[in-house]
Structure 1
Amino acid sequence: MVNFNVRFPDELIARVRIQATADRRSINSEILHLLEVALATVGEDAESPGGNSAAPAPLRGKPDSSPA
C-alpha cells in the first residue's frame, strides 16, 4: 500500500469525519470507500450510451486552483 498525503479543506474533512462515524469506519477507510464508489461510477458513466469518457471532468476547488 502507498502512503499519499492530501490536504483537505476543513469543511470537507469535517463532512468525511461525520460520514465515517455514521458508517462506523475510520476516516482513512471512509476516504478509500468514497474514492472506490466515485471511480466505479465514473467507469459506469463511460460505458453508458451517450457517455463521453474523453470529456474531462469539471475542475473543482478555488477559482485560482485551475491550471494556467
Structure 2
Amino acid sequence: MHADVHHLLHAVEAAELHSKAGEFRLPRAGLRTRVGWTLVEVGLRLTAQGRDTAAPRTAAFHPA
C-alpha cells in the first residue's frame, strides 16, 4: 500500500474513533475510589524508587 493512502486511511479511522470516543463517558468515580487509586499510584512510585537505590540481592559466594 502506498504511504499516502495508508496515512489517509489512518486519518479517517482516527477521526471515526475520536467521534465515537466523544459519545462514551465513564461514570464519575467516587471519592473512595479516587483516593484508593491515588494510593496505589503512590505505592508503585515508592517501590520503583526503592528498586533503583536498593542493593542487588545475590547469594553470598564463599570459595571452598
Q: Shorter-chain TM-score: what band?
A: 0.3 to 0.5
Taking structure 2 as the reference length, the TM-score comes to 0.39
Q: TM-score, normalised by structure 1?
A: 0.37
Task: Name the structure, 1 or 2, with higher relative contact order (CA <8 Å, separation 6+).
Answer: 1
Larger Rg: 2
